[in-house]
Chain A
């Protein structure tokens, strides 16, 4: 048992760090340090820089553009991106629709879509959740009826992240309402967002941001060639995502970077003429989060190094659920503390400081500006990707036999 990174792994980390330092646009980085979401243009530009270097999709098989890195190297790469911070890979492209097409797609689908996914020539969004199908995803109702060479899709998706940016949406749709089991009548369809009959309606979240949307389908015609896998076997595609390596859900690098930011903020904020970070109570809260984050990081490394069974089968180890649970809770506790540290200026809601005519930059300190929006926005972390209660349920049923 040797729990240290090897010399090769440390050299790899240095190589990745140097590349990011040399190539990440300063403006993008600063925006992220401030706790704001990168723009579409910034995310796309960065992904193309990585793609040109051959690092766009480290998790994919090499024949489709993957890097052939070990699990530990992929972790280091992701952690360096997170810690810089640089825009995260667009997960809908690289972690979701890409791997599904690789696993279940036709040769034609792979040839056409995969290079475009890697380079974000197409921005993808995910059409899974519906108003009546959240944690209970298999109850989804959007239906697709076969009509010659097309499916005709009717229904509604919701919580669709960045549908406003998207060129394509991958959807779970019901193709056989009579199936004995609900999961057996579902298919996986790729749908062009420019198709007639699609309407996108923004859902503005409590932080004031526009990340999620409702997407309505009204007699949308989708070529049968856009079916991935077999008709009525779309649930297999969805399950592939669940079985995917889940150490990313721990978001260790993101939390490390946010902790650094939190400490910076606590050095700027003052009370009685002294920086807040001199207060014992604040220091103890920060130290407590650092302890939790260290424990989480060790669990992630344990999974990565294959010292446990998670790599082989999700069923054998509750690590995925634990990582999701702790990763989200820790990230949320950091934003909660950011809100506390920001104090009165945390209450001002000046909107996007880059927007035309915004007076936010003159009116308030930069460090306090995004504390509240991030606190509000990151409540999503314990809701999406299987709520934390669902994770507890999975652990109790699948791993403890309760």
Chain B
């Protein structure tokens, strides 16, 4: 057992933190949000220069051969500043589907463009009726000559509005809830038959509703009928990244709250001298530690066999959701009025944490999944 980072990992972490310290102060973030895509193209270029966008891909595909630990470090640092750019959707989700699902020719075509910051990806998975189910899919994929034509509606697609490429789950066979019959298809974002309606989400990220009308796919990842295992694996990797991002956000929010407790004076004393607030700050610290432990656990379990991996990542998501709620709510409460003012960072961190809980299944959803496995014998 070894919890130490390698020298290269430390360097990655400190370089990224330095970049973000220089360019991602809270007032800058507000400006980025008003730029055309809702985030900063300039920052995206800097991430590419730093090697973040090609990080998890194999070197032979044009990447840098990073693993789950590198992804964790990047996510945590981005979480500390509430970064808005489509890193999760492009590198972790879209990139993950390509890494695990695409053949070598497709990977070698896509990865260099992703690494260079020239290709944005989005994962169009959820549908209006599906909530958190990954297999509740009504979008259809129909054979048409050599290719596939897609028909259906995808909802709340993270950064679906600006993506150059969409990775879409669709049913080539089977009934609505079947685990079989699901494929993952690669489409151009501007392909004929793709209608995208973008919008801002509560946490400053971007979302889109996407309607597919006889939209032609460029490729199918692997087999068009058994893509669900691929989807589950990549969603688990995204949960691990979200967990690390949440740890970064919670850690920043806790620090922000401590600063406030030490400087804000009422009744002639810093409010941090009041024991009731001290104990809440301690409870936040405990919640942060639990979340950090589970973010590391997530990283460690990603390479395990599917059943163990899925249970582990569900446990991670439960803890992250609970820690995020406690830390987010307490931070806002201890800040008082300024905690709910949009001009101040605490409320934005709170909102991002709330969004992370909801993304890919909230704490209750994953607790139900774990509860299904509880038995008297184990």
Listed in ascending order, the chain A residues whose CB lies under 8 Å from chain B are: 1-6, 9, 72, 260, 263-264, 266-268, 275, 277, 280, 283-284, 286-288, 290-292, 294-296, 298-299, 301-302, 304-308, 318-319, 321-322, 325-326, 389, 391-393, 395-397, 399-402
Contacts and interface: CB of A to CB of B under 8 A. Distances in A.
Contacts of A267: 375-377
Given A1-B5, A400-B281, 6 more contacts: A263-B374, A264-B376, A283-B374, A291-B315, A301-B1, A402-B281
A260 B294 CA distance: 22
B287 to A, nearest CB: 10
Contacts, number: 147
B260 to A, nearest CB: 11
B3 A318 contact: no
A393 B283 CA distance: 11
A287 B3 contact: no
B319 interface: yes
Contacts of A286: 371, 374
B282 A396 contact: yes
B contact face: mostly helix, strand, loop, or mixed: helix
Given A302-B296, A305-B3, A283 B372 contact: yes
A268 B377 CA distance: 11
B64 interface: no
A171 B172 CA distance: 76
A391 B258 CA distance: 18
B297 A298 contact: yes
Contacts of A304: 1
Interface string B305-317: 0000000000100
Given A3-B3, A3-B296, A400-B281, A295 B258 contact: no
Contact of B290 (A295, A321, A402): A295
Nearest to A317: B289
Given A2-B2, A298-B297, A302-B296, A402 B262 contact: yes
Interface of B: 1-6, 9, 69, 258, 261-262, 272-273, 275, 277-279, 281-283, 285-286, 289-291, 293-294, 296-297, 299-300, 315, 318-319, 367-368, 370-378
Contact of A322 (B5, B9, B289, B300): B289
Contact of A302 (B258, B293, B371, B376): B293
Contacts of B368: 280, 284
Nearest to B293: A298
Contacts of A263: 374-378
Given A263-B376, A400-B282, A302 B367 contact: no
20 contacts: A1-B3, A2-B1, A3-B299, A3-B300, A6-B1, A263-B374, A286-B374, A291-B318, A298-B296, A301-B1, A304-B1, A305-B1, A308-B3, A322-B285, A322-B289, A325-B286, A393-B275, A395-B286, A401-B262, A402-B277
Contacts of A402: 258, 261-262, 272-273, 277-278, 281
Nearest to A1: B69
Nearest to B67: A1
B282 A287 contact: no
A4 B300 contact: yes
A364 B133 CA distance: 45
A399 B293 contact: no
A307 B261 CA distance: 29
Contacts of B300: 3-4
Given A402-B273, A402-B278, A292 B376 contact: no
Given A2-B2, A302-B3, A322-B285, A389 B279 contact: yes
Contacts of B374: 263, 277, 283, 286-287, 290
Contacts of A264: 376
Nearest to A262: B376
A277 B258 contact: no
A277 B375 contact: yes
A294 B297 contact: yes
B1 A396 contact: no
A267 B272 CA distance: 48
A-B complex: 10 closest residue pairs judged by Cβ atoms: A307-B3, A267-B376, A298-B293, A396-B278, A283-B371, A287-B370, A392-B282, A3-B300, A295-B290, A395-B282
Contact of B4 (A1, A325, A392): A1
B63 to A, nearest CB: 20
Contacts of A326: 286, 290
Contact of A299 (B278, B279, B289): B289
A292 B370 CA distance: 13
Contacts of A290: 315, 370, 374
A49 to B, nearest CB: 29
Contact of B258 (A294, A389, A401): A401
Nearest to A300: B293
Contact of A400 (B69, B258, B319): B258
Contacts of A395: 281-282, 285-286
A3 B290 contact: no
A5 B3 CA distance: 11
Nearest to B73: A1
